[in-house]
Amino acid sequence: MNKFLKIFIIVIICIIIGIIAFFIFKSMKQNDAQNVEIYQDEEINIVETELSEEEKLKQRVDEKLASMTLKEKIGQMIVVSYRSSEYTEELDGALKEVQPGGFILFSENVTTYDETVEYISKIKSTASIPMLISIDQEGGRVQRIKSLADIKVQNIPAMFEIGKKNDKELSYNVGKVLAREIAAFGINTDYAPILDIFSNPNNTVIGTRAFGSDSQTVINNALPFAEGMSSEGVIPVYKHFPGHGDTVADSHVELPVVTKTKEQLYENELLTFKAAIENKAQMIMTAHIALPNITGDYIPATLSKDIINGILRNELGFDGVVITDAINMKALQDNYTLEEICKYSINAGVDMILMPLSSRDTASTIESLVNNGAITEARINESVSRILKLKYENKLDEEKILQKENIGTQENIDIINKITE
């Protein structure tokens, strides 16, 4: 074989080897790229899994909100009261028409255990969206279920007595007992604990309902108390923002005036609410008190943008549900019309209106305010989104098994007895 032929064969062989190597290398690169894509997809799936519960909740809220009429949305913003143990046609009609977001129970609604459970069950049956079945069960002089006729419930001493113990574990357990007993009726929301500071000895409306006379005692006991309530599936409602403890007048009968500046509030009253918000508070109740050195006028905090949107929402960062104190109290009724109460409170950042004199009138008033542009539907949507989120997060749409045997147990008695030991 001559020299040139040998060279030609070698070149051909090199070319063939080169082509084979090229395809092998190309195949390896494609496999690596596919592996990277698979790995990236796995990373994305991991992230999606971590966020899925939050995303599912938001999606559920958004889908429900999109399906609701304006009337249905407005209904969610109203909490109805009816002071009778008889479930009447009048009550049934109002509940079915308004479809309220909640109902508040009083001593007048509580008779025997079975009758009270049946009463609550009838209320719940009218709702297409689960209701906040609520009550003022604080301890001390505010204990609505003490009127129960056939079972002895716990008589819980005033919160000030608990504060004297200043024992976080005891406060937690007392909150647990309180919630365990009201949950046995199907009640899922309690307007407690009080975050007010009993700093004015002439204050009769709060007084010993507060856990203490300084912010730290209130924080040390109110927050564990609320956690105890939550552990039994009851939503705690912290009250009365921005602080009703340094007042003399009673907002049930007149408008109290607090002359403190914002700086002074931040040094005392707001410390308890700040702590509650940092501890994941879901619901806060407003106070009907005027703060002229903050707002520049005598508008009650419940109706004030400066107080609700300004301090509570923007400065303290609360994005949970804000509910008014009862709007049938004279601090509002003697000074404002129903239209003014609805317009000012909702535009101030309030989500739920508690105890209007008429739920039908309130619903139609809010609807008119939206239709004439005084309140935007976007503002309504903000509130309803918060309300739905609260209800779905707390699984109010899941039927709870009521445990009558949780009332009056020896364990409950022993815990409450520790307060006075």
Alpha-carbon distance values, 86 to 82, 116, 123, 342, 402 (Å): 9, 10, 12, 29, 21
Query: How many residues make up the chain in this entry?
Result: 421
Task: Decide if 252 is catalytic.
Answer: yes
CB 211 within 8 A of CB 199: no
Give the C-alpha separation, 123 to 118, whole Å: 9
| DSSP E strands, 273-348 | 283-286, 321-323
CA 210 to chain CA centroid, Å, is: 20
Catalytic-labelled residue, pool 252, 319, 334, 414: 252
Beta-sheet pairing, 78-81 with 353-354: parallel
CA 399 to chain CA centroid, Å, is: 19
CB 350 within 8 A of CB 283: no
| DSSP E strands, 3-141 | 78-81, 102-105, 132-135, 137-139
**Which is nearest to 302 in space by CA: 277, 328, 278?**
328
CB 268 within 8 A of CB 244: no
Catalytic-labelled residue, pool 190, 196, 246, 325: 325
Coil, strand or helix at 361? helix
Alpha-carbon distance values, 306 to 149, 266, 267, 289 (Å): 45, 14, 18, 13
Instruction: Tell me the torsion sign for CA atoms 111, 116, 122, 126.
Output: positive
Residue 224 burial (10 A CB sphere; 0-12, 13-18, 19+): buried
Coil, strand or helix at 200? coil
Give the C-alpha separation, 245 to 213, whole Å: 9
CB 391 within 8 A of CB 132: yes
Which residues are tagged catalytic?
252, 325
